[in-house]
Amino acid sequence: MDNQASLSTFTDTAYKPHSKHVGVRVCQIREIIEDGEEVVMDYCSTERMVADGLTKPLAGAKHVVFVKMCGLS
């Protein structure tokens, strides 16, 4: 994940009106965590987020890096 707020959504069970749309998937992940199963969610900076190359306008040099990260040429 590249968003600190997203990470806290899974671990903080307090109701937040702005996150009510998140839905079933978050509830399932919360249940897994509450059951004591190990779930690892790490922050991934923009420099390491491969999907950004497909979802954001990037400068030429950054675009080349993301293309290589995706295994494209």
- pLDDT tens readout for residues 4-18: 666 676 666 665 666
- Report, as an integer, the average pLDDT of 59-72: 84
Residue 64 has pLDDT above 80, yes or no: yes
Q: What is the pLDDT of residue 14?
A: 64
- Centroid of chain to Cα 28: 16
Secondary structure in 3-state letters for 11-57: HCCCCCHHHCCCCHHHHHHHHHHHCCCCCCCCCCCHHHCCCHHHHCC
Question: Which residues fall within 8 angstroms of residue 9, CB to CB, at 6 or more apart?
Answer: 16, 19, 22, 26
pTM score above 0.75: no
- Encode pLDDT of 15-28 as tens digits: 566 666 566 777 78
